Structure 1
C-alpha cells in the first residue's frame, strides 16, 4: 500500500466502527477450476478444487482476494492490492489469513483492533468458499480448546500497548527491569495507532511556563499545575527520546487556537504524516530491541495484592488463564469513551456520542484500579470531536465534518467557527442538539464531496438554494456564511456534523512520579503506576487544550512510570 494515499484523512485511520461489510464476485470473473483438470467433477464432499476470486469491501476501499481450495482444504488465500493502513489493516489481514489457513475454516474470530477490515475479509473468504460449494465445516467456528492455566513471572508488568504503555515498558527495560507488556487486542497501538500521531511539547525551556499557563487557561484553572509543570518540563525530553528511536517529525506546527506552534507531527520518511503508526512502529521496535516481552490478545482482569502492595495481575486470553506475578504494575489501559455505561456515569456530557477512539477503550484499567482503592477524579469533560455519521465506513467520509470552516444548527443559526475541534464540540454541547451542519464553499469541495456523495448533506449554487434544500432559514444561513473567511465561491455545501469523542477525561489520580494514589489517604499504592488516558484527570477540565496533548502526556508520564516501577521492582 502506498502510504501517501492516506493524505490527511489518516487522522482517524481505522476506527473500528461496527457497520455492515460485504463482498461480491467480480461481474466478469468466473471461479477458475484447477489448471490440471478444468472440467473437474464435483467430488462427493461437494467442494470443487480450484481458485475462486471475490471483491472484498475493506475499510478504505475494495480489494480482491483469491481463495485456492482442494476438495477438502483451504490451501491458500491471496490478497490483491489493498488500501488498508499497513500497521493496522495490513497486519490484521495477514493474521486473519494465517488463522483461517491454520484452522481450515473461515469461521475464526475477527482480529480485535481491526474488526471492520477482518469482517470484510472473512465475508469475502466465505463467499469464495461458497462458490466452491464448500461444506459447512469450512465456514463454521472452529472447536475451542480447553482453557489452560499459566503462571508468568516478571519484574514489571505493563498493561496496555499504546503510546503510554510502550513508553513505560521501554523506560523500565532501560532501567534494568525484566518487562512484560500485555495488550488485550490482537494488534498493538491502542488509540495512538489510529490517531494523527501528534505530540505536543514545549518549544524550549523558556516555553515551559507559557505552556503550563495555556493549559491552565483552557482548564479554567481546574487542572493540577504541579503535574502540568512536570509534563511541560519533560515534554522536551520526550521529543528527544522519540528522536533517538527514529521517529521522524514535522516540527513546531500550529494546532487549533493554541498560541504557540507546539505540535510535532510524526511522519514517515516518504513524507506521509498525520498517521499514528509512524509513532507506534518505532516504539514497538525499540521495546523489542530492549527485550520487552510483548503479548497480545490478553486482557487483564484483576490486580493482585499482598498486604496492600500490588504484586501482579490476572488476565485471560481465548484459551489461557494467566497469573502474572510482578513487583510493579503500570496501568496504561486507555480511557472509557467506548463504554456507554461508564460514560453515563463519569462523563455524561458525552453520553450517546459516537466514540472514534479505539474500541477497546472501555475502562477496565480504571475499574481495576478502583477495585484496589485507587483515588479517582471526574469533571464531566470529554475529548470531543465531530463526525458525519458513525455508520460511515471510511474516515475520508467523516473528514467532511472534521475540517469545516464553520458550523450551524439545523435551522442555519451559527454555532462555531471551525478553527478548533474541542471548541466546536463545546459549542455544540451548549446548544444540546445531536445534529449540526458544517459549511463549505467551492474551495472546500474536496472535503465536502465525500459526505455529499453518500447522502449526508446538501449542495447548491446559492446560499438561498442551499437553505431551501436543507430546510434552513435563509437569512440565518447567510449570516453564518458571512462569519466565515471569504466563503463566497459557489457551489455551497452543508455537510452533516455530529458530536463525537476521541477520548475520555477523568480517571486514576497520580503524582509526578506516576504513582497511583489511594482514595483512603492520598498516598501512593505501593507497586502501582499509571500513565495515559486512564490517569488524565489532572491535566484537563471540560475542554481538550490541543491536538497531541493526550499522546504527549501519556508518553511523558509513561516514561516516568516505567523508570520508577523498575526502581521499585529492583529494590533501588
Structure 2
C-alpha cells in the first residue's frame, strides 16, 4: 500500500473519530506524511500562500497584499471561485446600514440567537461574535472590490428572525467573486495559479510550524474518479515557501463521495449535491495529518430548497427560498397538507422533507405559490425557472396543479384556503411561520398570500448535501488550533467552509458569504 493511500486512511480515521481520533494518532505519526524544509528544495518563495479562490481565499489574499505582502494563490480547478461562484448571492449582515435605511430593527444578539437555534446550540459563539463585529466591514470591502448589491429591502431567509440578507445584482455569488478576482489580480505582488493542486504542507525542521506547501501545476481534476485526491496523478510537482504563513481556504467536501459517506452513511456515492465537482476533502485531510483539531466533521447540511428536476444548485433554491417559501406553502403530495414551516432553518426543513421521502421514496413534496408570492427581485428568474427543463411548472388552476402531481385536489384547496384565512384573520399558523405577521405582510398589500385567481407555480423539493458544517478549529484570529497543544499551529490560518464550529449543526442561509469574507479578511490581517 502506498504512503499516499495510507496517509488518506489515517486522515479518514481522524475525521471519522473526531478529536478522539487525533489523540489516538501520536504527533509523530500524524506529521509523518508531511515533508519538512530539510526534505525539499523550494522552487519559489512568497510571504503568504492562499489555498482556494472562493470568498475566503480572495478576501485573505486581497488583505494580505494590501499590507504589502507577496501573495501566491493556488486553485486546483480550471476556474476561480469554487462553490462561491454558484452561491445564491445572499449575504446576512446583522444590524446593517441597509437595514437602517429600510427601518428594519435588528441586532447582533438577535443574529446570534437565530444561529444558535439553527445550530442546535453547539456553535462556537466567539466566531459568531466575530461575524457580527465585522460583517459590515466585509460588505464594505466587497463593494470596494466592485461587488454590486440590490438596493432594495433586505431579503428574509429561512431561520432568521428579521430580513437581514443582501443579494447581489445578478443573484449569484459570482457577483462578488468576479470583481474580487479582478481586484486581486491588479494588486501588486499577487499571483493566481489555476490547475495547481496543493498536495501537502511543508513543515519547519522541528515539525512544529507550517513554512510552505508542495503542489502540482498543470493538474487536471477528474470528476469521474471516486477519490480524485488520491487516484489522480496528473501534474508536475513544485514546492513553494511561505515566509509568513499559509491560509487554507479550500472549501467544503460535499462532493467527496468517499469522505462524506464515512461521516454520514446516508450520503451514498450517486447522491446529487449542490456543490461544484471539486469540493473534496483533500486539503482538509492534510491539515488533520499535521495535527489540526477537527470539529463537527459529521454535521453535513442539506439544502431543503433544491429540486430533483435539475442537477446541482440550479435555479430552484432562488425560486423557493426567495419565492415560494416566503408566502407560499410546501405540501405532502400524498395528502395535500402542509408539513413544515417553510421559513424554518435548513435542517428543520430538510428533516421534515426526509420524513416524507423515507416513508414514500420519490414522492417529492411540492412548493406552491402565485406571482405575488415571489420577492420583487426574483421576478426576472421566474421565466428562467419555467424554461429550465421543467424545474418550475405553471398552472392556471389548483385542480390542474393537483392533477399533475397526483395530489388530492380537495385537500390541497382546503389547505390553501385555511392558510389564506389564517393570514387574513391574523391567526398564527400551526407552524409559526415568521413571515406571516407584522411588517412582512405589508408586502402583500392586503391580498392573500396565495392568490386564488392564479396562475399557480410549483417546484418539487428534495434535500441535497450543501454545506459541510465541520472542519478545522480556528480562533478569532483565524489561526488553526493544534489538537496536540490546543494552541495555534504557527504559520497556518484557515477561513471559510474548511473551518468548523461557527454554525454548529446547521448554517442559516446567507451566512456563508459573511462568514467567508469576514474570516478571510481576518486571516489576511493577522498572518
Q: Structure 1: state its 5+ residue gaps.
A: 1-148, 268-272, 566-572
217-226 or 385-394: which moved more? 385-394
Give, in angstroms, the shift of residue 509 of structure 1: 0.7
Give the Cα separation in 2 of the matches to 1:449 and 1:287.
32
Task: Find out whether 1:254 has 2:151 as its counterpart.
Answer: no
- Aligned counterpart in structure 1 of residue 368 of structure 2, from 423, 436, 439: 439
- Aligned counterpart in structure 2 of residue 312 of structure 1, from 187, 209, 212: 212
Give, in angstroms, the shift of residue 253 of structure 1: 0.5
2:523 aligned partner: 561
2:119 aligned partner: 219
Matches within 5 A, 1:87-486: 151-204=43-96, 207-250=107-150, 253-257=154-158, 258-267=160-169, 273-291=170-188, 292-306=190-204, 307-318=207-218, 319-327=235-243, 328-348=245-265, 353-378=271-296, 380-389=299-308, 391=310, 395-396=314-315, 403-404=323-324, 405-411=328-334, 412-419=336-343, 422=346, 423-433=348-358, 435-441=364-370, 447=382, 450=385, 454=389, 462-464=397-399, 466-482=401-417, 483=419, 485-486=449-450
Give, in angstroms, the shift of residue 382 of structure 1: 0.5
Q: Secondary structure at the match of 2:501?
A: helix
Q: Structure 2: state its 5+ residue gaps.
A: 1-40, 98-105, 219-234, 421-448
Deviations 1:50-107 (A, max 9, x none): xxxxxxxxxxxxxxxxxxxxxxxxxxxxxxxxxxxxxxxxxxxxxxxxxxxxxxxxxx
- Aligned counterpart in structure 2 of residue 544 of structure 1, from 504, 507, 513: 507
Native 8 Å contact 2:273 2:312 kept in 1:
no
Query: Normalising to structure 1: TM-score of the pair?
Result: 0.65
Number of aligned residues:
410
Give the Cα separation in 2 of the matches to 1:219 and 1:393.
24
- CA 1:512–1:215 in 2, change beyond 3 Å: closer, same or farther? same
Give the Cα separation in 2 of the matches to 1:453 and 1:204.
35
Native 8 Å contact 1:198 1:265 kept in 2:
yes
Deviations 1:461-511 (A, max 9, x none): 654554444333345433443336335234555532221233221111111
Deviations 1:112-131 (A, max 9, x none): xxxxxxxxxxxxxxxxxxxx
Matches within 5 A, 1:498-513: 498-513=462-477
1:37 aligned partner: none
Native 8 Å contact 2:275 2:312 kept in 1:
no
Native 8 Å contact 1:383 1:505 kept in 2:
no
Give the Cα separation in 2 of the matches to 1:394 and 1:231.
25
Give the Cα separation in 2 of the matches to 1:390 and 1:150.
49
Native 8 Å contact 2:478 2:495 kept in 1:
yes
Native 8 Å contact 2:214 2:237 kept in 1:
yes
Give, in angstroms, the shift of residue 228 of structure 1: 0.9
Give, in angstroms, the shift of residue 541 of structure 1: 2.8
Give the Cα separation in 2 of the matches to 1:151 and 1:216.
46
Native 8 Å contact 2:385 2:392 kept in 1:
no
Give the Cα separation in 1 of the matches to 2:120 and 2:215.
40
Give the Cα separation in 1 of the matches to 2:313 and 2:509.
24
Give the Cα separation in 2 of the matches to 1:490 and 1:335.
41
Native 8 Å contact 1:389 1:398 kept in 2:
no
Native 8 Å contact 1:181 1:295 kept in 2:
yes
Give, in angstroms, the shift of residue 443 of structure 1: 6.0
Give the Cα separation in 2 of the matches to 1:313 and 1:181.
12
Give the Cα separation in 1 of the matches to 2:135 and 2:187.
22
Native 8 Å contact 1:343 1:350 kept in 2:
yes
Native 8 Å contact 1:159 1:333 kept in 2:
yes
1:530 aligned partner: 494
Give the Cα separation in 2 of the matches to 1:215 and 1:456.
30
Give, in angstroms, the shift of residue 242 of structure 1: 2.3
